[in-house]
Amino acid sequence: MKKILVAMFLAVAMVAPAFAVMELDIKAGYIIEPTVTETGPNEYKCTYSQDPSYSVGADLYFYVLDNFGIGVGGSYIFDTDFDGKKWKGIVEDVKSGSTNIYAAVKPILAENGMVDKVYLLGQIGMGITKFSSDYKDYDFSENGLYWGAGLGIEKANIIVELLYSVNYWEHNDDSAWNEGWSYTTRRIAVNLGYRFGF
């Protein structure tokens, strides 16, 4: 997967100088209620909710056509606590967050209506999920696939977006109990930001 990501970023970097129009979107987000689904052997599956969280991020787009942007971006999702009711008595102070780096597309659906732009968002790349608890210093970070899809509007360079995103990750260490276990983190975020045009 790392080779594919490197190829995507190189492709964007090589073709970028050919485009006259580019933009930088800076944003902050509120994540409504993240969930983590744990999947294990023998069809075991359990979903845990987390407290709401916040994120910051930026996307750099180059426009191959007037209404289609392609670029790269990144976001940092602050650590947030797991639901204490499900974890109480097992481990305490359980938190998780992530850093995502991705290739992105931004097709423009409509312009110059009630708002300046209505657009879609597509993101795919690598996520680094952080997990920590007070159980025997059980802190680690794991890489995995990240993707996101959403819808946005722009008015006077102010952008508002609704984004659904997913991180896939596995924890691999020397503990036998981790074998065959995988995790999926799902988030819905409302982003507010500003678009800089160049």
Task: For residue 88, give the DSSP letter.
Answer: T
Of the candidates 107, 94, 104, the one whose C-alpha atom is nearest the C-alpha of residue 165 is 104
Kindly report the pTM of this predicted structure.
Answer: 0.83
Other residues' Cβ atoms within 10 Å of the Cβ of residue 108: 18
Residue-level pLDDT at 103 = 97
Q: What is the mean pLDDT of residues 43-69?
A: 91
Task: For residue 21, give the DSSP letter.
Answer: -
pLDDT in tens, 68-91: 999 999 999 999 988 755 554 555
Task: For residue 11, give the DSSP letter.
Answer: H
